[in-house]
Amino acid sequence: MRFLEHGVKTNKSLMLIHGMANTSDIFDTLLPYLEDYYVIVCELDGHSSMEQGVFVSVVEEAEKIEKYVKDNLDGRLHGLLGFSLGGTIATEVISRGNIEVQRTVLDAAFVIKMGIMTYPFKFIFQASIGCIKKNIPIPKVLVEGIMGKGNSGIVDTLYKGVSLESIGNAALSCYTYSIKEGIRDHHNPVVFWHGENEPYPVKSARLLKKYLPQLKKRVYKNMGHGQMLHEHTDIYARRLIAFLEEQA
């Protein structure tokens, strides 16, 4: 895992965790809006063109994040934002309670078990990345069926260099993830964002609310998975900053 640091370390800290088959590049357009923060972008194992590695599990990534924060930030983060798989990892981090996180944004975190659909979805994602590697277009109906209507542009954010092993491990770890009971001890503000056209994160938000009564939800109208982040970054950034600076 790589930790890419931006800004002045004495500023409030904000950690960003990308999704499955993305790289840190997905946050490139967001960074200019965050110049008043010390931003740390996590680049997950198996998702970097600069570092060898294989994604093993949500838990292993969370452990590496904890170690970094303890070693470099005195065990405290002002803000933590996880997108998609990154949101699942962020959920694991605040569940474990080994570092202090003052404010958490879960953008379309996936924390529901897929059951018998686990392996079909794993195959779909591996097959989709395989198509990207071979420059074969992924059918629009398949992309929009999973990522939301009108969201075919999400394909442009995917990283063709990710290994099928990493995608398989990430899918299995994400789609069989269990929320830890320890999350009930996390009392700091948490928000859950998702697009109106996303079929699965709404279920994740509903489940998380049972563990985190303070959780607030924001639904982005006419948006699919990650669409607000990569198509309307300015609005996304304003809402992120407003949450980070909101008085508890």
pLDDT digits (tens, 9 = 90+) for 172-226: 999 999 999 999 999 999 999 999 998 889 999 999 999 999 999 999 999 999 9
pLDDT tens digits, residue range 46-94? 998 888 889 999 999 999 999 999 999 999 999 999 999 999 999 999 9
The upper half-sphere exposure of residue 8, i.e. CA atoms within 13 Å in the direction of its Cβ, equals 4
- Give the list of residues 6+ apart from residue 17 with CB closer than 8 angstroms, or none: 42, 44, 65, 80, 81, 82, 83, 86, 87, 89, 90
Per-residue pLDDT at 181: 96
Domains in the chain, number: 1
> Residue 175: which CATH number?
3.40.50.1820
pLDDT of residue 247: 67
The per-residue pLDDT for 241 is 97
Question: pLDDT at position 128, please?
Answer: 85
Domain limits for position 13? 2-245
Residue type present at position 19: G
Among 70, 69, 25, 21, residue whose Cα is nearest residue 47: 21
The residue count of the chain comes to 248
Picking from 83, 92, 14, the residue whose alpha carbon sits closest to that of residue 60 is 92
Beta-strand (E) ranges in the chain?
Answer: 2-6, 12-17, 37-43, 76-83, 100-107, 190-195, 216-220
Res. 159 pLDDT band, cuts 50 70 90: confident
**pLDDT, the chain, mean:** 92
3 state SS of 77:
strand
Give the residue from 8, 12, 22 showing the smallest Cα distance to 243: 12
User: Above pLDDT 90, what percent of the chain?
Assistant: 73
Give percent of the chain above pLDDT 70. Answer: 98
**Residue predicted with more confidence, 23 or 248:** 23
Mean pLDDT score, 215-243: 95
